[in-house]
Structure 1
Amino acid sequence: MQSAVRKAALRFVPLLTIAYLFNYLDRTSLGFAALTMNKQLGLSPGQFGLAAGIFFAGYCTFEIPSNLMLYRVGARRWLARIMISWGIVSAATAFVVGPNSFYALRFLLGIAEAGFFPGVTFFLAAWFPTQFRTRMLAWFLVGIPLSSLIGGPICGLLLQLDGIWGIAGWQWLFIGVSLPCIPLGVLTLRWLDDRPENANWLSHEERDALDAVLAAEVRERPPASWLAALMDTRVLILGAIQFGFTLASYGIGIWLPLILKEYHLSNMAIGWMSAIPYLFASVGMILWARYVDRNGRRIVNLAIACLLGGAGLVAPIVSGSLALAVIGFSVALVGVTAARAIFWTIPTRFLTGVAAAGGLAFINSIGTVGGFAGPSMMGWLKEFSGSYIVGLTAMAAILIAAMVASMSLKLVMTKE
């Protein structure tokens, strides 16, 4: 079984991690595009925040239908379709001419991407036994901090292409981070297998051993309908928790370049400086996930991660120092990214089959509303107060509330 897990990890996880890197990059690159796009298109902070957030209206609306379709046609085909369609729509964002076209394409992009993350979570649960799942999810989720670690400098460089062939730098940015998603989708169609029994690159012994372990886990968790999963108290609490750390993740990720601009840095310097917190977040998430796989106590660690996320935001709130602000954002992002990796191993402990497909999508759709609320809230509060401090304070408070919700989850879970 160990050899089968090792082969599957090497075959699937690097590809899915790279795909998620681009998936997240086409969201966070928006903050870099705003450095020049907002002025050229005449977008106010509120309009930009609304456009950043409206993506999640389309995403959440189509999340459950998308994941139920994935369950019907198979993860391999559906994940490939998602990647190809989001690459096309995201690249088209280079041609927006004002707020209305910007809103429309952001909404369409949300529809195109709907179901990707819970679909990958469902796929990994179909391949990896519980004792490996946190690490596999962490390696997949490292695409988030890597998208800013690598993407920050890349976005800064793409902005320097301003004027080449009459195309603005922010337009080059959207094209450059979007088009690679199309060949990634084609590769996914060729490289993934829906279940171990479909994998001809495993030996018969490896397939049988892995199938036996996964089947035993399913027998311990009798399947339910997807409607029953939607009414499960544990699912509702998990959705609230994910709302909290997702709000903070996107609130920081999309607005961080503009917050750093307040320290009078060049666009290139912002690209490099914004990568620092994500370097620490990448390392911290992997190490924390390994610790949780070995020692358990997932819910307690989830609560600690949310608390750390809120505490880290104190430094940029109370300090006018660039160095302290970067340290604070680094601590906050370690907490937020670790929370995400730990979090997604919890629902797959009690959801299986179509209940997992529907339940995971429902959790993600509730939580992903935070992806709308975070950027939008930061934009509105910036316009209202003239400062980013109020928005950062609100994010810190919401992360503390997510910590409290995490501890309440322990009361309704039958086992840790």
Structure 2
Amino acid sequence: MSLIQEVSTPAQQNVTDEIEKKLFAKIAWRFLPILMISYVFNYIDRTSISVAALTMNEDIGLTSSQFGYGAGILFLGYCLFEVPSNLILYRVGARLWISRIMISWGLVSAAMVFASGPMSFYILRFMLGVAEAGFFPGVAYYLSCWFPSKYRAQIIGWFLIAIPASSFIGAPVSALLLNLDGVLGLAGWKWMFLIESLPCVVLGFVVAKLLADSPGKASWLKPHERELVVRLVANEQRVKPATNMRSVLSDIRVWILSGIYLGFSIGSYGVQVWLPQIIKQENFSNVAVGFLTAIPYLCAVVVMIAWAAYVDKNGRRIKNVMLTCVIAGLGFFVSFLTQSFVFSLVGLTIALVGVNAARAVFWAIPSRYLVGVAAAGGLALINSIGTLGGFLGPWIMGWLKEETGNFTAGLAVMAACLFIAGLLALILQKIASED
């Protein structure tokens, strides 16, 4: 399957277009697979805590609210160091900085084996957020340096497949690793963290080998190919781009984008961290919980690919973000209005499909308004504000679960956040130039 699908109109089908298409397919196959694999491990390290909680919470004495707070505190560390991390990336180059991030998070995630109570759990999760800070916006900025806007939604969509794929793969694998309980005197959840974290260190060195900091430095491209990529990327900005951090901070579009991302991040992480425990209420085994958790994410992978390709071909990215947020909100409503486990899982599947489709389309929008250091810092600003949802979502779900004894109120809040994100997308559509 080609990573670059047809995006031009019939009138543009000529030799030049075909050469361009083959060139960007060549670039995509060079480093997109390793970045996708890296992001899969990133999200597994970040979210496998949801499966670990099936046995870890009792082992180290965590209540529902303590687990929700600790699961989310990762994102406070992430947000605090996000912008500085990306500004450093802009200065030193993506290749070495992305590699450094991966090696750091692999080592810190493996150190979760030392969690022994609420405080050590909080500290390790916070440090994991610090280690990870800058990875996604760094990659988003990196891809914006290589691909013109007409390919970008699809390329970012392929990269973001790693998010649902990490749960589709990680949930069953993590559940199976819990069965190593007692081997060499270690709890199963500790084996899970070790086995899923240490490969990230190796991948960090692989990334340093394969990536080039920019098209102009890519020795594996021919000179005329490098010149074509540089020219196309430089010429594709169409909407009054911001070029420095001052212009970023004064751009209302950046703040609205941050609010949209915050809204659907609350819903995404609120469910992602708690989904195994929501399913566990039906008294399934841990392994069965792992495989049932994978179902919504399998659906999300398929829809993300199709939706990103559709948007690249037909445009109207902001409208599609609005639509996917509304679909996700409706899915959350279905999940808590029914008493049937099957229909509830269907609702959660619709919600996670909508959230992940929104994410794939969303990240093709900011780079239309941001270039240069503004792209590095602006993408990090949007991501750091939005990623606060990774703290708020799990914490709100845990607190409301402890207060009410069930997940209904939490799911209602998740639905409301998605509808608010959809409303903000509508506002952005009114004030920004839609593609």
> TM-score, normalising length from structure 1?
0.98
* 1:171-218 deviations in Å (ceiling 9; x for gaps): 111111111110110000000011111111112222122111112125
8 Å contact 2:98–2:138 — kept in the other structure?
yes
Task: Select the residue among 48, 68, 71 that pairs with 1:29.
Answer: 48
Task: Select the residue among 75, 78, 85 that pairs with 1:66.
Answer: 85
Which residue matches 1:184? 203
Q: What amino acid does structure 2 have at the position aligned with 1:211?
A: V
8 Å contact 1:32–1:257 — kept in the other structure?
yes
Tell me, in whole angstroms, the C-alpha distance in 1 between the residues paired with 2:310 and 2:237.
25
Secondary structure of the 1:409 match is: helix
* 1:220-274 deviations in Å (ceiling 9; x for gaps): 7555211220221000000000001111111111100000000110000001000
Task: Select the residue among 336, 339, 346 that pairs with 1:320.
Answer: 339
Q: Is residue 181 of structure 2 the alignment partner of residue 165 of structure 1?
A: no
Q: What amino acid does structure 1 have at the position aligned with 2:182?
A: G
Which residue matches 1:400? 419
Tell me, in whole angstroms, the C-alpha distance in 2 between the residues paired with 1:15 and 1:309.
29
Q: Is residue 251 of structure 2 the alignment partner of residue 232 of structure 1?
A: yes
Q: Is residue 128 of structure 2 the alignment partner of residue 109 of structure 1?
A: yes
8 Å contact 2:237–2:368 — kept in the other structure?
no
8 Å contact 1:230–1:358 — kept in the other structure?
no
The alpha-carbon distance between structure 1 residues 220 and 332, as it changes in their structure 2 partners (threshold 3 A), is closer
Tell me, in whole angstroms, the C-alpha distance in 1 between the residues paired with 2:117 and 2:377.
36
Task: Select the residue among 169, 173, 189 that pairs with 1:150.
Answer: 169
8 Å contact 2:36–2:160 — kept in the other structure?
yes
Which residue matches 1:205? 224
Deviates more, 1:373-382 or 1:21-30: 21-30
8 Å contact 2:327–2:350 — kept in the other structure?
yes
Q: What amino acid does structure 2 have at the position aligned with 1:10?
A: W
Tell me, in whole angstroms, the C-alpha distance in 2 between the residues paired with 1:225 and 1:50.
35
Which residue matches 1:75? 94
Which residue matches 2:309? 290
Q: Where does the alignment leave 5 or more consecutive residues of structure 2 unmatched?
A: 1-19
Tell me, in whole angstroms, the C-alpha distance in 1 between the residues paired with 2:249 and 2:107.
32
Which residue matches 2:358? 339
Tell me, in whole angstroms, the C-alpha distance in 1 between the residues paired with 2:84 and 2:229.
29
Displacement of 1:219 after TM fit? 8.1
Secondary structure of the 2:180 match is: coil
Which residue matches 2:298? 279
Tell me, in whole angstroms, the C-alpha distance in 2 between the residues paired with 1:382 and 1:219.
47
8 Å contact 1:146–1:279 — kept in the other structure?
yes
Which residue matches 1:368? 387
Q: What amino acid does structure 1 have at the position aligned with 2:285?
A: S
Tell me, in whole angstroms, the C-alpha distance in 1 between the residues paired with 2:97 and 2:36.
17
Which residue matches 1:301? 320
Q: What amino acid does structure 2 have at the position aligned with 1:174?
A: F
Secondary structure of the 1:224 match is: coil
Which residue matches 1:194? 213
The alpha-carbon distance between structure 1 residues 223 and 242, as it changes in their structure 2 partners (threshold 3 A), is closer
Q: What amino acid does structure 2 have at the position aligned with 1:133?
A: R
Q: Percent identity?
A: 53
Q: Where does the alignment leave 5 or more consecutive residues of structure 1 unmatched?
A: none
Which residue matches 2:13? none
Tell me, in whole angstroms, the C-alpha distance in 2 between the residues paired with 1:97 and 1:230.
41
Q: What amino acid does structure 2 have at the position aligned with 1:100?
A: M
Task: Select the residue among 15, 30, 38 that pairs with 1:19.
Answer: 38
Which residue matches 2:59? 40
Q: What amino acid does structure 2 have at the position aligned with 1:340?
A: R
Displacement of 1:320 after TM fit? 2.4
- Tell me how large the CA RMSD over aligned residues is: 1.1
Which residue matches 2:106? 87
1:248-263 to 2 correspondence within 5 Å? 248-263=267-282
Tell me, in whole angstroms, the C-alpha distance in 2 between the residues paired with 1:107 and 1:370.
15
Tell me, in whole angstroms, the C-alpha distance in 1 between the residues paired with 2:335 and 2:228.
51
* 1:355-382 deviations in Å (ceiling 9; x for gaps): 1111111101110111100000000000
8 Å contact 1:4–1:202 — kept in the other structure?
no
Tell me, in whole angstroms, the C-alpha distance in 2 between the residues paired with 1:274 and 1:320.
19
Displacement of 1:7 after TM fit? 1.1
